[in-house]
Amino acid sequence: MRRHLPPADLARDARFVRTSIMESITDPRNRAIADRRLGPARLAPDRPAAADRARNLMHGIFMGELQALEGAGRTTFDFDDDEAPFALKLDMARQCWDEARHVEISVRLAEWMGTGIGEFAEATFLYEAACADDPVLRLCGVNRALEGLAIDVFNTMRAFGETAGDPVLAFCEDWMLADEVTHVKMGSDWLRRLTADDPERRERALEFQRTVDKLFSLGGFRGESDENPVRLARRLRELAGFTDEEMDEIAALADESRAEADARAGAASA
Amino acid sequence: MADPRAPRPAFAPWDRRELPGLFDVETSARRVGAYAWVEMRLFEALGGWVATVPELDVKLVLGRHCYHHAWHAELWHKRLPELREMDPARLVVPGDDAVAELLAAVAEPEAPERTIEKLVGVYRVVLPRKIAAYTYHLAATSSITDAPTQRSLRFILTDELDDWREGEMLLQSLIETPEEVERASRLQAELEALVTRAGGIAGPGSIGGAGTGEVGGDAVPSPPG
């Protein structure tokens, strides 16, 4: 088996359909939906099409968990012991098990919510963040940026489950949330340990994280206003090792990402 | 209630543990280092394969088992300094050159249509050999002086037996045609030849036996009486 498996080679069965994140963001239908002015975009049971949107999000969570499993697995294999310390690989192996459980939970929840594997398309941007050739960049891109997003998503879904009176959803999201805080903390700890004497490498890793964070804001998908379906979970992120400044920066990136997506969608529909 | 000041033996009447064991400290450490090396290569291969197998159930099992082997490697790494090996890297090596060849051959398949080959190497060759070596170690070492190793062996064997069963069942569910049977058995035979040449998963003497040089009698002779 070769080291560093490109995203195009991710193995899938016949149910999966692949798309690109740019296709999703610039989909002209997004503009049409926005123009309907249905009120705040926040995920809430009384919103129009709330059930469909929750199912779509659940499928996205499933795909994210699957790619997180694959990314963590590759990090155990892609590097020599001198490139990635044994203890880091142990953490990644642990994350493999956690993500495998999350996939199991997501599949069951998706069925529970009335959707199934392959009903929505898969973008591989999450796994792409796990393809960096420096393990520190992977930990920043995946564990801090992506798993950070997972904290925001699961917190939003848990709240949605509580408001909608769905204890199964709230229960499962609560458990996954606990694991995600652990994964983000792993990323924060390894970033500190591996770059303690290498500020340049640290800055490269943080820059990669910013890029991924902006991408993961998905044109306003995540933010701090009612226009963002997923809210930034500041308290939980703090537990995972994020500083206030870092969270402010993510919020600003999210605003920026939304403005850019609006402009793109406007251009596409013009 | 019995008189609490009445003398009692150190060993309860039902405690049949004995001092003698076949391994001295150095032998036990050498074996533990060889185990750690195999567990590391195994968790890396399983982790790497997750992205390469299209079968969703296999992906998830590999993800779970990847952590099991990582945890085993961690237990062995922690045990080495307790066996007077303060530089674990010195002993975390393959038990024989052929073991290194074996694990490289096991990790070689990558293509998505080679799931059977991936599973055969792990679940029909490496895990049965590990179970054998661990079982031998558990039975042969002193249950008093080397009790910490035995404790780890018991935890690990529980995982190994469960994982072997699960992997074998996955294989049985994937192998459907005579051609697939042939693929599986051909690779198994090739890998078996390698591990046989190695003398077992931990090198010569993995499960004892004559002429291995590993088992020279009791490392601690039986005390008189």
Interface test with A, best of B66, B118, B163, B170 (most A CBs within 10 A): B66
Identify the structural domains of chain A with CATH numbers, from first to last: 12-269 (1.20.1260.10)
The CA-based angle B186-B39-A81, given to 5 degrees, is 115
Q: Which overall architecture, per CATH, does domain B25-198 show?
A: Up-down Bundle (1.20)
With 50 as the cut, is the pLDDT of residue B213 above it?
A: no
CB A137 within 8 Å of CB A31: no
Chain B: give the shortest CA distance to residue A210, in Å: 26
Chain A: give the shortest CA distance to residue B210, in Å: 36
A59 exposure class (CB count in 10 Å sphere: 0-12, 13-18, 19+): buried
The conformation of residue A19, written as its DSSP 8-state character, comes to E
Going from the C-alpha of B132 to that of each of A184, B24, B34, B136, B200, the distances in angstroms are 39, 20, 14, 6, 9
For B112-136, write each residue's pLDDT tens digit.
Answer: 999 999 999 999 999 999 999 999 9
Tell me which residues of chain B, numbers 49 to 108, contact chain A at a CB-CB cutoff of 8 Å.
Answer: 49-56, 59-64, 66-71, 73-74, 77, 107-108
What is the predicted pLDDT for the residue at B44? 98
- Domain borders along chain B are 25-198
For A11-24, write each residue's pLDDT tens digit.
Answer: 999 999 998 877 77
CB A143 within 8 Å of CB A92: no
Hey, are the CB atoms on A5 and B50 less than 8 Å from each other?
no
Cβ-Cβ contacts under 8 Å, A96 against chain B: 47, 50, 63-64, 66-67
**Nearest Cα to B118, choosing from B187, B217, B23, B66?**
B187
What is the predicted pLDDT for the residue at A19? 87
What is the predicted pLDDT for the residue at A143? 93
Hey, are the CB atoms on A97 and B63 less than 8 Å from each other?
yes
What is the predicted pLDDT for the residue at A240? 86
Distance of alpha carbon B85 from alpha carbon B94, whole angstroms = 16
Q: What is the dihedral of CA A82, A87, A88, A93, to 10 degrees?
A: 120
| pLDDT bracket for residue B211 (50, 70, 90) | very low
Interface test with B, best of A96, A107, A111 (most B CBs within 10 A): A96
DSSP characters for B154-193?
HHHHHHHHHHHHHHHHHHHHH--SHHHHHHHHHHHHHHHH
- Kind plus residue range of the DSSP H or E element containing B140: helix B127-140
Interval B84-112 mean pLDDT: 94
For A168-190, write each residue's pLDDT tens digit.
Answer: 999 999 999 999 999 999 999 99
Q: Which two three-digit tokens encode residue B166?
A: 């699960």
Chain A: give the shortest CA distance to residue B46, in Å: 7
With 80 as the cut, is the pLDDT of residue B189 above it?
A: yes
Query: B114 Cβ partners below 8 Å, 6+ apart?
Result: none
Tell me which residues of chain A, numbers 20 to 79, contact chain B at a CB-CB cutoff of 8 Å.
Answer: 66, 69-78
pTM for this predicted structure? 0.91
| pLDDT bracket for residue A41 (50, 70, 90) | low
In the A/B pair of chains, how many CB contacts fall below 8 A?
106
For A114-159, write each residue's pLDDT tens digit.
Answer: 999 999 999 998 899 999 999 999 999 999 999 998 999 999 999 9
Distance of alpha carbon A82 from alpha carbon B167, whole angstroms = 31
